[in-house]
Structure 1
Amino acid sequence: MNGHQTITSEMTKVCLGRSGPLVSRMGLGTMTFGVETKEQEAFRQLDLFVDHGGTLIDTADAYGGGLSEEIIGRWGKQRGGFGDLILATKGRFVPPPGSHGASRRSLVRSVEASLERLQVEVIDVYFVHGWDCHTEVAETLSTLGDLVRAGKIHNIAWSNLAGWQLQKVLSTAQAQGDPIPVALQPQYNLLDRGIEQEVLPCCLQAGVGVTPWSPLGGGWLTGKYSTELQPCGATRLGEDPNRGVEAYDLRNTERTQQILTVLRNIAGRYECPPAHVALAWLSSRPGVSAILLGARTVDQLKSNLGASSLVLTAAELDELTKVSAVGLPPYPYGFLEHWSQMDVWKTLGT
């Protein structure tokens, strides 16, 4: 084998972005809690995650209509508090009655509700769950700033933004003197590298940490789905083959199969699951602070935690990067890359 992998209680810790808290390289995503994962199984996942050195627990008011937050809150109370753990939650998609999106009225009430469900006095990282086209971002940011100053949030963050939206958030926050987001939570994996064109460069330039969701492409990168037969049974795509960006027909492509072939080949060298290789590649990407692992069961989580100590060679990383590359659209990205390589910008005086 080219390397080794063991589950360790000394999971690597990194700063969340340029100025955020110190977090484990793998975070626990809890979207399944209260929906696909019952409370006692969720407690066991939380115990396992912490026992293996995990510190970042990620939830949202939209997960199970608040059930995920409630379960985490009861678990925290049972263990005597969260201590050194970093608790992240989100608001925007489940506004209180009479509110909408990321407005001041909505966020203030949403934060209060999340604090109550989580049974804490302050949220370590509060994500706005998505862009709100009905609310000026200046209002959203000033509200978040007030909540930070009131001691109800330590750090702010965002999820699911386009590049221009992230830059508007950053520019507006700086102009107003409001807190700068420490992190962005987008979809990012070997099957979907769309953020690399605009969003990721913006994060890198501004020092915003990336905490990807769906690191295994909705299960595709585990190798459990077949190109010959649509999934069925107790899997995410088995229960809902048309599941948004992870839909079976959308991802059942030749490119996906080429990626899976390389994943399996590399996994064979390490005698580990393909999922470990996919997670190790993602963990190596520039700007990625913490990867969010979501699981229905303790066994699934335990398996994925095994990827925390897998380090791929530069050649293996390059092989995965090349097979999953989608190329640049001809304009403007291909055009700009071509002319920058020709050093034409100096000629043009820019």
Structure 2
Amino acid sequence: MEYRQLGASGLKVPALSFGAGTFGGRGPLFGAWGDTDVAGARRLIDICLEAGVNMFDTADVYSGGASEEVLGEAVKGRRDKLILSTKTGLPTGEGPFDAGTSRSRLITATDAALKRLGTDYIDLLQLHAFDAHTPVEEVLATLDTLVQAGKVRYVGVSNFSGWQIMKSLGVADRHGLPRYVANQAYYSLIGRDYEWELMPLGFDQGVGAVVWSPLGWGRLTGKVRRGQPLPDVSRLHETAEFGPPVDDELLFRVIDALDGIAEETGKTIPQIAINWLLRRPTVSSVIIGARNEEQLRQNLGAVGWSLTPEQVAKLDAASATTAAYPYWPYRRQAGFARLNPPAV
């Protein structure tokens, strides 16, 4: 397994990390993702550690906290061998203190996550969404308190816009508070919006991408085909409304390109899609998920080999879309590109 620096931090993370969203299986959304119990989680974690995947990501909203509980129980006795990453900030209830990243909520939510995970520290705590009701200064000062207390070691964000990250980094630099070193972001061959603003920001500011849903919410498994119904077993049946929107023509154009490369390489469509991501600038780690051992072993096959430049170019062309303003001039007009060379 290849290990990379997480942004500009000193923390080394594996190129592939494991997402525990399939652990627990509570509720309509996460129940559709998977219902792995403690025994099943131990087996998947064994396989991950054998392959060098030592970073495990979860969140307090996954199955109402059950994901953290299952993960914590499954890593007992080997906590020092792995990196635990979790997220907080999204609503976990209907009460006024059940959402956001105020000082009170962050401290309470972190203590609750520590208890569920059965540990006394979190390696990487990420804010699951921007809280417009809480001053950035309050958020960062609270994170500093948690770091100083030894409860959290590194901090990051997830689903933030570029200006929200940049404002936070400016406040952190001005007041000597912890900088975000990770941005857990959606990025895939059928969802390249990350490249428009977040990738240049990460490149410039030393914020590493921890990629979620690298297979486009299950669309790049090889089971979704032009003119064919969805497979019987697919999260798209029940959860498509929660996932990123994808134009059908873009999807099938990318699938056609992946099919051709699969024939050339003997690799599967998911392996190729993940391998493409691993070569992108600012990507520190790609989160893979699995309901079972077979899926996990297939996804682990995304490392240890490389696409050729010609194959990368083919995937780039098939997945290209027109960026939103003001980003498209920098891609299409020579004068803009001369002033602002891309990070890629």
State whether TM-score is above 0.5.
yes
CA distance in 2, matches of 1:216, 1:73: 26
* One-letter amino acid of the structure 1 residue matched with residue 307 of structure 2: L
CA distance in 2, matches of 1:183, 1:105: 23
Partner of 2:283: 288
Q: Alignment partner for residue 84 of structure 2, among 70, 87, 100?
A: 87
* One-letter amino acid of the structure 1 residue matched with residue 263 of structure 2: G
Segments of 5+ residues of structure 2 without an aligned counterpart are: 26-33
Aligned positions of 1:19-168 closer than 5 A: 19-35=9-25, 36-39=34-37, 40-77=39-76, 80-94=77-91, 97-99=95-97, 100-168=99-167
Report percent identity of matched pairs. Answer: 36
Q: Which 4+ residue blocks in structure 1 deviate beyond 4 angstroms?
A: 95-98, 341-345
SS of equivalent residue, structure 1 residue 74: helix
Structure 1 residues 344 and 290, CA gap change in structure 2 (3 angstroms): closer
SS of equivalent residue, structure 1 residue 65: helix
Q: Alignment partner for residue 298 of structure 1, among 293, 313, 336?
A: 293
Q: Does 230-239 or 254-263 show the bigger shift?
A: 230-239
CA distance in 2, matches of 1:59, 1:202: 25
Of structures 1 and 2, the one with the larger relative CO (CA 8 A, separation 6+) is: 1
- Provide Cα deviations, 1:216-269, integer angstroms capped at 9, x if missing partner: 1112112111232442533201334x33234xxx43511211111111111111
2:223/2:230 contact within 8 Å kept: no
2:61/2:90 contact within 8 Å kept: yes
2:60/2:92 contact within 8 Å kept: no
1:276/1:310 contact within 8 Å kept: no
SS of equivalent residue, structure 1 residue 211: strand
Structure 1 residues 315 and 152, CA gap change in structure 2 (3 angstroms): same
CA distance in 1, matches of 2:14, 2:22: 20
- Provide Cα deviations, 1:9-62, integer angstroms capped at 9, x if missing partner: xx1111111114111110000111011122122221111111111111101111
CA distance in 2, matches of 1:271, 1:229: 24
Structure 1 residues 342 and 188, CA gap change in structure 2 (3 angstroms): closer
- Provide Cα deviations, 1:141-161, integer angstroms capped at 9, x if missing partner: 110011001110000010001
Structure 1 residues 342 and 68, CA gap change in structure 2 (3 angstroms): closer
Partner of 2:317: 322
* One-letter amino acid of the structure 1 residue matched with residue 313 of structure 2: D
2:155/2:178 contact within 8 Å kept: yes
Q: How many residues align?
A: 328
* One-letter amino acid of the structure 1 residue matched with residue 89 of structure 2: R
Corresponding position: 1:254 with 2:249: yes
Deviation at 1:121, TM superposition (A): 0.8
* One-letter amino acid of the structure 2 residue matched with residue 197 of structure 1: W
TM (norm. structure 1) is 0.89
CA distance in 2, matches of 1:277, 1:343: 32
1:20/1:155 contact within 8 Å kept: no
Partner of 1:276: 271
* One-letter amino acid of the structure 2 residue matched with residue 299 of structure 1: E
SS of equivalent residue, structure 1 residue 308: coil
Cα root mean square deviation, aligned: 1.8
* One-letter amino acid of the structure 1 residue matched with residue 2 of structure 2: T
SS of equivalent residue, structure 1 residue 135: coil
CA distance in 2, matches of 1:227, 1:142: 51
CA distance in 2, matches of 1:42, 1:301: 12
1:227/1:252 contact within 8 Å kept: no
- Provide Cα deviations, 1:329-350, integer angstroms capped at 9, x if missing partner: 3x422345526358589xxxxx
- Provide Cα deviations, 1:284-308, integer angstroms capped at 9, x if missing partner: 0000010000111121111110111
Partner of 1:8: none
2:191/2:246 contact within 8 Å kept: no
